[in-house]
Amino acid sequence: MSEFHEAMPHGTLEEVFPDVFFVTGTMRNEFFGSMWQFSRNMTVVKEGEKLTLFNTVRLDENGLAALDALGTVANIVRLGDMHGLDDPFYVNRYKDATFWALPGMGMEGGLAANKVLTEDGPLPVGNASLFTFKTTKRPESILRLDREGGIMIACDALQNWVEPDRFFDMQTTATMTEMGFFTPANLGPAWVMGAEPQANDFARLKEVPFKHALCGHGSPLRDNAQELFHGTFKRMFGI
């Protein structure tokens, strides 16, 4: 048996912006005492022949072939503490790649970061900046690409689940509907419960300009992402 989690059903790599790719797959695990099945996303940024993976989702053999056809995986990046299931697979497969993570993250499979993500330190991609949450109980960050007016690559803090997709099962759909997960430009409900972010973080986040958001959950949010998320910050924190 493989030491890594198996590849679960997923879609195809889609180029959502020039040299920025997005794929949706499956997450299946136990939460709150029951099994949940829902979707999660990986973002891939291409710079020349180098690829950087954010919020890894293990792809099947066809998916890996499509990934390898894009270029060479040079960086594997963990932006949020609650995502990391498939990091060990990619770190093992692409042994020359650099694994990046925030300080204090609980690592899958005993991994250790090759490089630590900080706001004032080096980043895995060029023309980018990092926003880190300061008040949360679990490490979380958002990487802003300075392309197309600002693309936010988020993990759990920002989500855009509008409706359940084909990677959900019926029981999880019902549960997550009741819990309010299917809300455009939302903050992740499970993340809010577990990380307990405070208003100060979102006051700082409002100072970061952007137009688009590619989140760990939900569909890409284009053009008016900042306006919609600022409305969510006001609704939840009064800022």
What domains lie within the chain, and their CATH numbers?
A: 14-237 (3.60.15.10)
CB 36 within 8 A of CB 90: no
- Residues of the chain short of pLDDT 50, as ranges, are 1
Quick one: which of 155, 152, 156, 174 has its CA closest to 164? Answer: 174
Give residue 37's pLDDT: 97
Q: Residues 170-211: pLDDT tens digits?
A: 999 999 999 999 999 999 999 999 999 999 999 999 999 999
Give residue 12's pLDDT: 98
Give residue 168's pLDDT: 98
Report the C-alpha gap between 205 and 166 in whole angstroms: 32
Give residue 1's pLDDT: 43
Give residue 34's pLDDT: 86
> β-pairing, 34-47 with 158-159?
unpaired
Report the C-alpha gap between 68 and 50 in whole angstroms: 10
Quick one: tokens of 143?
Answer: 């990487």
Q: Exposed, middle or buried, 19 (CB in 10 Å: 0-12/13-18/19+)?
A: middle
Angle subtended at Cα 197 by Cα 137 and Cα 167, rounded to the nearest 5 degrees: 90
Give residue 176's pLDDT: 94
Report the C-alpha gap between 150 and 193 in whole angstroms: 28
Report the C-alpha gap between 218 and 147 in whole angstroms: 21
Report the C-alpha gap between 129 and 121 in whole angstroms: 10
Whole-structure pTM value: 0.97
